[in-house]
Amino acid sequence: MPSAPLKVFITGASRGLGAALAAHYAARGAVLGLAARRADKLAELAAALATQTTVYGLDVADRIALAAAAADFCSRHGTPDIVIANAGISAGTRCGNPEDLAVLDRVLRTNVTGLAATLAPFVEPMRKRRSGTLVGIASVAGLRRLPGNGAYSASKAAAINWLEALRVELRGSGVRVVTVCPGYIETPMTAVNRFPMPFLMSAEDAARHTARAIESGGALVIFPWQMCLVFAFLRRAPAWMFDRIFARAPRKPRAAG
């Protein structure tokens, strides 16, 4: 008998890495659940994918909408094999500027609480089945904080730690938790950057790396390998050295990405 198709649920799927991941898994014949704020873009993407796709127009900051989407997908297709919490936003911030506190709040609600709210509804169904993979898209920015991008860096650091806690909690359950930390990806989020982005990769390449990370069985995956080496050095650099290197580094524009 032929094996059942893979079932994959992805947030932030209307553009960038999320759309590339949807295309990657569609090419493998997966049944997809795609969520994003832009329902019109999701509909266009679904129409272009030659696979069974259910779309959900929602904001991951809306926990009730996410829970409803998770329940609907499970009702239609069964518990997914892979859930990828990919939705995220970025904004240039200045940590000492009171006006940026509202931006910090919005970034944390999307990148941390939204990630947790994406994965949480699927934990018990996967635990009951004793299989499944929960994936959080973090960033190398969460490994060492970057000036001018404090809100985003803080959110990704929090995401990495939350995913690690979830992984330990689910140890022995049959459910895997994978933290993916990419470097710079060519997406609308990075298009506003006005500074060099070393080792910039296309969304399609990043999707392939992410899929390989999910399949590899690893818990924390950083790519590309060049960025992995850079941040291995930065994580070990003493504060005085890090400060000196980045004190005059270009900053992300103070506008939401």
| Positions marked catalytic | 152
Give the Å distances, CA to CA, from 99 to 93, 94, 95, 252, 255.
9, 9, 10, 16, 12
- Tell me the backbone φ, ψ of residue 166, rounded to 5 degrees: -60, -40
Q: CA-to-CA distance for 59 and 252, rounded, in angstroms? A: 24
Cα 21–Cα 219–Cα 17 angle in degrees, nearest 5: 20
Structure tokens at 123: 């934990």
C-alpha 143 chain-centroid distance: 15
- Nearest to residue 26, comparing CAs of 40, 6, 11, 42? 6
Q: CA-to-CA distance for 7 and 181, rounded, in angstroms? A: 23
